[in-house]
Amino acid sequence: MASRPTDLLTLTREGLYCPPGDFHVDPVRPVPRALITHGHADHARAGHGAVLATPETLRIMAVRYGEDFCETRQEARLGEAIRMGSVTVRFHPAGHVLGSAQIAIEQGGCRIVNSGDYKRARDPTCLPFEVVPCDVFITEATFGLPVFRHPVARDEVRKLLDSVRLFPERTHIVGAYALGKAQRVMALLREEGFSEPIYLHGAMEKLTDLYRREGVPLGETIKVVAAERPKLGGTIVICPPSAIQDLWSRKFPDPVTGFASGWMRVRARARQKGVELPLVISDHSDWDDLCRTIRETGAGEVWVTHGQEDALVHWCGTQGIRAKPLHMLGYGDEGEAEPDAQGVETAA
């Protein structure tokens, strides 16, 4: 007997729940069994009983929350069929950050793919997004408006390097989220030939070291020492977004303030944050890629979890695709702060 999508996933106060498999996906509260798409704190929380996630995501959670972040854990290998109750689940690359995955849930000829957060743009720090054909596609819509069309990230990094050459006496401070964005900016700088040490706020160290252990080429990085800040003219410093407006950033020589985020497309946001050098670099899909992905999955139904839900639901309707917003609470977007393991604000 064919299963209906609502037989496989239902919305509870903890988040999306699969009754026949008895598990939640990215629950916002502690649950007995959780499947986690990626390591950002609005999707990966501590305190669950059992956690199933990719090996990289499990290691990220251990760095952020400590080794006892859950009672038991299980590694999900990409593409591996895992039986849970009467359903089969598989993890597929999402292209968002290191270890990020979409989760396909199947039973009775019905396949639902929960994409988590995802992007289609190239990223040297993680595996590229994989299109998974499905009946129901669950998508985010962080940048789900036609105004959001992201430029090529390498071009944005070249703007940073051009500014460093133009103002060699000034420190260039770049706000970037501690998990994913910071390491992507570093890797892109290396691809563009920047070989000097990159200086890091202390909140960046542990996750950057993890990326390096996972084989991501980031080059030499040095932790910023308070007493050395006045001597760092001409360098690139990467820090959490909150630090660019903090007293911490004012001790550098005539700093140029940058911020790497998809929200930098909105110039008013850049001005509000006092950003002199906005870098439009996003780890989420833009409008065109959201629409392209929905079409390529062949899904006849789309559920939109968070972001600009209404616009994407409307677009689906114009394409003859059934769609609905889930109005889920507890998930942030690329500009919403989260506390990291050291209590410093970062963001997904």
Residue-wise pLDDT tens digits, 87-97: 999 999 999 99
Same domain, 26 and 137: yes
Residue-wise pLDDT tens digits, 216-233: 999 999 999 999 999 999
Over residues 9-25, the mean pLDDT reads: 96
Q: List the strands of the sheet with 136-141, edge to edge.
A: 82-84, 87-93, 101-107, 110-114, 136-141, 301-307, 322-325
Per-residue pLDDT, 328: 78
Domain of 201: which CATH number?
3.40.50
Compute the chain's Rg from CA coordinates. 20
> Does residue 345 fall inside a structural domain?
no
The pTM (predicted TM-score) of the whole model is 0.93
Instruction: Tell me which residue of 21, 42, 43, 82 sits closest to 33, measured CA to CA.
Output: 21
Structure tokens of 146? 């036609």
Same domain, 166 and 238: yes
Over residues 31-54, the mean pLDDT reads: 97
Same domain, 27 and 138: yes
By residue count, the chain amounts to 348
Domain boundary, last residue among 279, 311, 333: 279
Over residues 257-279, the mean pLDDT reads: 91
CB atoms < 10 A from the CB of 108, how many?
14
Same domain, 212 and 244: yes
In the block, tokens 């939109």 appear at 304
The structural domain count of the chain equals: 2
Same domain, 143 and 288: yes
3-class DSSP assignment, residue 101? strand
Distance CA(245)–CA(235), nearest Å, equals: 18
Same domain, 108 and 135: yes
Same domain, 142 and 248: no
Percent of the chain with pLDDT over 90: 86
Residue 39, Cβ density class (10 Å: 0-12 exposed, 13-18 middle, ≥19 buried): buried
> Does residue 343 fall inside a structural domain?
no
Q: What are phi and psi of 315, to 5 degrees?
A: -60, -45
Domain of 128: which CATH number?
3.60.15.10
Q: Is the pLDDT of residue 211 over 50?
A: yes
> Does residue 332 fall inside a structural domain?
no
**Whole-number average pLDDT of the chain:** 93
Per-residue pLDDT, 137: 98
Per-residue pLDDT, 267: 83
Residue 104's domain comprises 5-147+284-325
Over residues 138-147, the mean pLDDT reads: 96
> Does residue 330 fall inside a structural domain?
no
Name the pLDDT band for 141 (thresholds 50, 70, 90).
very high
Q: Is the pLDDT of residue 190 over 90?
A: yes
Instruction: Tell me which residue of 115, 104, 106 sits closest to 79, measured CA to CA.
Output: 104
Same domain, 127 and 158: no
Bridge-based pairing state of the strands 256-260 and 172-175: parallel
Per-residue pLDDT, 86: 96
Same domain, 255 and 316: no
Distance CA(222)–CA(66), nearest Å, equals: 24
Percent of the chain with pLDDT over 70: 94
> Does residue 90 fall inside a structural domain?
yes
Q: Which amino acid is at 120?
A: R
> Does residue 334 fall inside a structural domain?
no
> Does residue 346 fall inside a structural domain?
no
Residue 91 is given by DSSP the state E
Q: Is the pLDDT of residue 317 over 50?
A: yes
Do 289 and 120 contact (CB within 8 A), yes or no?
yes
Name the pLDDT band for 340 (thresholds 50, 70, 90).
very low
